[in-house]
A and B are shown apart, each in its own frame.
Chain A
């Protein structure tokens, strides 16, 4: 194993790791927005919104994220959507992650005993007031861990955007293999950096989870 080579290319990988981190953060934000809207749609009293929410989840969880990215990036221009690779990566992965987060958020909301909503409503709270005063504060506690799992998956899924030439960790590893012919070292280095990112994120999620628990 060529440790010297790894140390030599390491700064370039670190730069690429930043791209992966930025990509992950933006994807997570978009995913949370899509997931919140998706969950709201799935729990709506309007049948059409419930249908659209369910359709969103089954389409984006039912097809490979890579195909979704290819359709958006390569197929997009055909239907008038012009995105650079980074934008397509964030939007494609964000919408995909949102489908998983929809189910996470919905699950955490329906897990709250229905007596909680009833108690709030009998005091005279509107449906929305009951949701944000009584249901969501309790659901939020249930959401942290599973959203952490979604985040973990999402960070690893950012490797897919190498396929549309976003210069992040995986793409950088591939590029250095082209010039060094050392795939073991290059992929190992990328793997180590992914693991650090995921480890730190996991610690953050665990901290947040402890922080939001009641007593």
Chain B
């Protein structure tokens, strides 16, 4: 089968690091505008799955499709690089450790890629920076360097940087895990705002409350497989699998 009917389609994803199999035949569809949460303990493969979607961690088997185009298709190196660079412009990614460019101000972090890849004029680029940083509430820090910002502020700039490429899909890889507890909310609020704008998002998270409040669907992963999935109201309240119950029990106890 090659015809693609879903916005994001993961077919039989398989990933091994040597003898270690971290993803075992995972299939998953995400529709346009959907918000999917992925939960699971560390080592469950959830980050690897997320990173496979934009080919940061290429799969060893299976296919990833995005909006009618196969992401991980077989091409000669040069063509593949060109294909993947174009594909990645449509997929924003937010990292646990922000990965802001320390030698650039917030403005430069946001505008570097659009300027370089889309050839925007200086005026357009300035407008874009102001727009995107305003959206995450960071306009007044536009000319600050990352070292002058708090963790929450850095992550908001990182989100603005991803949004500046006008992506069709946003991937969040534990975006709030590295933050002090009091800084989590400001980042969550930005993500909620995106959810209200119907941005398609795949969110790897440790925060059950947040997943419950924004996600349309939540997947629980363990040992490289999706154990259970469903709307948060069902998955969090009435999980059918023992492993899910066990994880949630530990997590909710641990959190409170």
Which residues of B lie under 8 Å from residue A179 when comparing CB positions?
none
Q: Are B145 and A215 in contact (CB under 8 A)?
A: yes
Bound together, the chains give a CA A127 to CA B100 distance in angstroms of 17
Task: Name B114-171 residues within 8 Å CB distance of A.
Answer: 116-117, 145, 147-148, 158, 161-162, 165
Q: Are A126 and B165 in contact (CB under 8 A)?
A: no
Bound together, the chains give a CA A125 to CA B193 distance in angstroms of 27
B97 interface contact, C-beta 8 A: yes
Task: Name B47-79 residues within 8 Å CB distance of A.
Answer: 54, 56
What is the size, in residues, of chain B's interface with A at 8 Å between Cβ atoms?
28
Q: How large is the interface on A (under 10, 10 to 19, 20 to 34, 35 or more residues)?
A: 20 to 34
B43 interface contact, C-beta 8 A: no
Name the one of B99, B148, B162 contacting A118, with C-beta atoms under 8 angstroms: B99
Bound together, the chains give a CA A126 to CA B97 distance in angstroms of 22
Q: Are A122 and B91 in contact (CB under 8 A)?
A: yes
Q: Are A137 and B103 in contact (CB under 8 A)?
A: yes
> 1/0 per residue B180-215: CB within 8 Å of A?
000000000000000000000000000000000000
B93 interface contact, C-beta 8 A: yes
Bound together, the chains give a CA A138 to CA B100 distance in angstroms of 12
One of B26-34, B82-90, B216-224, B234-242 contacting the partner: B82-90
Q: Are B145 and A214 in contact (CB under 8 A)?
A: yes
Contact status of A133 and B112, CB under 8 A, knowing A119-B95, A119-B101, A122-B88: yes
Name the one of B147, B148, B165 contacting A123, with C-beta atoms under 8 angstroms: B165
A115 interface contact, C-beta 8 A: yes
Interface residues of A: mostly helix, strand, loop or mixed?
A: helix
A124 interface contact, C-beta 8 A: yes
Contact status of A122 and B56, CB under 8 A, knowing A115-B99, A137-B103, A215-B147: yes
Min C-beta distance of B93 to chain A, whole Å: 4
Q: Are B88 and A123 in contact (CB under 8 A)?
A: yes
Bound together, the chains give a CA A148 to CA B34 distance in angstroms of 54
> 1/0 per residue A124-164: CB within 8 Å of B?
11110100011001100100000000000000000000000
Task: Name A52-100 residues within 8 Å CB distance of B.
Answer: none
Chosen A-B contacts, 7 in total, with CB atoms closer than 8 Å, are A120-B113, A122-B162, A123-B161, A124-B85, A124-B165, A138-B103, A214-B147
Which residues of A line the B interface, CB within 8 A? 113, 115-116, 118-127, 129, 133-134, 137-138, 141, 214-215
Please give me the 6 A-B residue pairs with the lowest Cβ-Cβ distance, nearest first: A124-B89, A119-B99, A123-B113, A115-B99, A122-B93, A124-B88
User: What 13 additional pairs, Cβ within 8 angstroms, besides A122-B56, A125-B116, A138-B102?
Assistant: A113-B97, A113-B99, A115-B99, A116-B99, A119-B99, A119-B100, A121-B88, A122-B91, A123-B112, A124-B88, A124-B89, A125-B113, A214-B145
